[in-house]
Amino acid sequence: GENVEQHPSTLSVQEGDSAVIKCTYSDSASNYFPWYKQELGKRPQLIIDIRSNVGEKKDQRIAVTLNKTAKHFSLHITETQPEDSAVYFCAAPRAGTALIFGKGTTLSVSS
């Protein structure tokens, strides 16, 4: 089936730096793009999502951008903090099925 590609697989930044994670999708009918954060030993939890009728959405230090023409969307975290260290997953719905997830990005923020 069609996949969601996510890059990079690991990302290390210094506290206060910005982090960017990128995803591409192939189903042109996809209209909903969530991002999940999974802390060690915990369940994935939604941190932000965007729908196809907008190009950008912000929530404090987190933003998501969407380029439907190029079929890619990105997560931007500014002023990173140690508590941002986690695995981040992007996802997109595939026609006739459920949300399909990327392989995840392990973000490490060092102080």
Partner 1 sequence: DVKVTQSSRYLVKRTGEKVFLECVQDMDHENMFWYRQDPGLGLRLIYFSYDVKMKEKGDIPEGYSVSREKKERFSLILESASTNQTSMYLCASSLGYRGNTIYFGEGSWLTVV
| Tokens coding 75 | 């997560």
**Per-residue mark of binding to partner 1, 1-30 (x: CB under 8 A):** x----x--x---------------------
Under 8 Å CB-to-CB from 17, ≥6 apart: which residues?
80
CA angle 7, 62, 104 (to 5 degrees): 25
Under 8 Å CB-to-CB from 79, ≥6 apart: which residues?
16, 18, 61
70: left (phi over 0), alpha (psi -120 to 50) or beta: alpha
Q: Least distance in Å: CB of 33 to partner 1?
A: 10
Question: Taking CB under 8 A as the rule, does residue 93 contact partner 1?
Answer: yes
Q: Least distance in Å: CB of 15 to partner 1?
A: 25
Asked whether 71 and 88 are in contact (CB, 8 A), the reply is no
Nearer to partner 1, 2 or 56 (CB): 2
**Per-residue mark of binding to partner 1, 32-71 (x: CB under 8 A):** x-x-------xxxxx--x-x--------------------
Give residues in contact with partner 1 (CB under 8 A).
Answer: 1, 6, 9, 31-32, 34, 42-46, 49, 51, 89, 93, 97-104
